[in-house]
């Protein structure tokens, strides 16, 4: 719903530019007003970044607070339509845009770290696809700033193409994206101890005997409960002692204890079947995990095995 609203707003922003195609409309006054209106689009970037990393962040109160500077600049230019107001507006927008880029980058890193330390299946919550979005956003904003100061056709073309590419990437990857509320995950049940030492023998049993990793949607909290400790302590043990994230640890267990043995014993199995049997949510995740764990692609191993058997 939020993304749909953002795209609808952008459609309106772009439709207004059609006014420039009418005779006599390409004037400094009209261009300045288009600049004032375009500046409001920065709010949509803010909403997208915070909604992607903190689901439910957008509220009417926050939207009102975000809109105050733009409302003040719009009112100032209405009362006193001078270049000084426009220049001050441009400086504010430039500073604001880079602030959002920096904050967004930090938020995404925090989000990515959290999901990899919490989930074994990140198919619909992963935000790694947002990197090109940042790139397109930076190119779009730089070209927009340049064309706002020095109107030129090439700058407009770059601005529109980069904006279209950015929102197409967002739309494509957001279709099945379900952001995680990080605040919910940090809460611990009162009955679970906060500093229970990790029983490494029990952990080994859970992995090798009970094969807990076969649960496609296994979370670090599930493993912690099985170990008799809490989520934070379990996550800290995996990252500090084992030297990896929960996501990488569970995938490593799946590859070593299930995928490789299956590939050795049953070279006739398809990679899709092996991935599903090993607890992976998709063949793409299986391939990435296999390469990270072994340094080779799964096809290389199956081809070698089939060649030996032949």
For the chain, the domains span: 2-183, 188-309
Each residue's pLDDT tens digit, 208-249: 999 999 999 999 999 999 998 888 889 999 999 999 999 999
Question: Can you tell me the distance from the alpha carbon of 216 to that of 166, in angstroms, rounded to the nearest whole number?
Answer: 32
Question: Can you tell me the distance from the alpha carbon of 158 to that of 285, in angstroms, rounded to the nearest whole number?
Answer: 35
Between helix 153-174 and helix 2-16 the angle, nearest 10°, is 160
Q: What is the pLDDT of residue 184?
A: 52
Q: What is the pLDDT of residue 182?
A: 67
Q: In 129-269, where does DSSP find H-type helix?
A: 131-149, 153-174, 182-185, 200-208, 220-227, 231-240, 246-254, 260-265
A 10 A CB-CB count for 71 gives 12
List b or e across 271-309, with b for residues whose CB sees 16 or more CB atoms inside 10 angstroms.
beebbeebbbbebebbbebbeebbeeebeebbeebeeee
Q: What is the pLDDT of residue 191?
A: 46
The alpha carbons of the chain give a radius of gyration, in whole angstroms, of: 26
Question: Can you tell me the distance from the alpha carbon of 274 to that of 299, in angstroms, rounded to the nearest whole number?
Answer: 12
CA torsion, ordered 83, 87, 90, 95, to nearest 10 deg? -160
Query: Is residue 118 a contact partner of residue 177, using CB atoms and an 8 Å limit?
Result: no
Q: What is the pLDDT of residue 9?
A: 75
Structure tokens, 228: 């008799």
Which residue stretches of the chain have pLDDT < 50? Answer: 185-194, 308-310
Domain 188-309 fold: Arc Repressor Mutant, subunit A (1.10.10)
Cβ-based burial of 239 (10 A; exposed 0-12, middle 13-18, buried ≥19):
middle
Q: What is the pLDDT of residue 206?
A: 93
Closest-CA residue to 274 (of 233, 221, 214, 231): 214
Query: Is residue 300 classed as helix, strand or coil in its secondary structure?
Result: helix
C-alpha distances out from residue 46 to 9, 12, 122, Å: 14, 18, 24
The pair phi, psi for residue 58, each rounded to 5°, is -70, 125
Question: Can you tell me the distance from the alpha carbon of 117 to that of 168, in angstroms, rounded to the nearest whole number?
Answer: 29
Contacts (Cβ under 8 Å, ≥6 apart) of 28: none
Q: What is the pLDDT of residue 198?
A: 81
């Amino acid at each position: 719903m939020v993304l749909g609203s953002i795209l609808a707003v952008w459609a309106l922003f772009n439709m207004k530019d059609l006014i420039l195609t009418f005779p006599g409309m390409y004037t400094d006054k009209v261009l300045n007003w288009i600049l004032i209106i375009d500046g409001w689009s920065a709010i949509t970037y803010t909403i997208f970044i915070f909604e992607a990393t903190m689901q439910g962040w957008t509220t009417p109160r926050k939207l009102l607070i975000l809109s105050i500077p733009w409302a003040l600049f719009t009112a100032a230019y209405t009362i006193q339509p001078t270049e000084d107001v426009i220049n001050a507006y441009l400086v504010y927008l430039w500073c604001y845009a880079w602030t959002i880029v920096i904050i967004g980058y930090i938020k995404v890193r925090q989000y990515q770290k959290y999901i990899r330390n919490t989930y074994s299946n990140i198919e619909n919550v992963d935000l790694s696809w947002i990197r090109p979005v940042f790139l397109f956003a930076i190119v779009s904003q730089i070209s927009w700033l340049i064309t706002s100061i020095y109107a030129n056709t090439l700058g407009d073309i770059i601005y529109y193409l980069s904006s279209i590419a950015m929102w197409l990437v967002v739309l494509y990857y957001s279709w099945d994206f379900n952001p995680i509320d990080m605040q919910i995950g940090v809460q611990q049940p009162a009955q679970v101890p906060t500093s229970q030492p990790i029983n490494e023998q029990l952990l080994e049993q859970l992995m090798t005997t009970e094969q807990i990793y076969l649960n496609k949607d296994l979370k670090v909290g599930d493993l912690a409960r099985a170990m008799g400790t809490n989520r934070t302590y379990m996550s800290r043990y995996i990252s500090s002692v084992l030297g990896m994230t929960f996501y990488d640890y569970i995938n490593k267990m799946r590859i070593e204890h299930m995928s490789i043995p299956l590939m050795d014993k049953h070279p006739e199995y398809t990679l899709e079947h092996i991935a599903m049997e090993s607890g992976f949510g998709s063949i793409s995740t299986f391939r990435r995990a296999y390469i990270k764990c072994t340094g080779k692609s799964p096809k290389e191993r199956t081809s070698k095995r089939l060649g030996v058997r032949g």
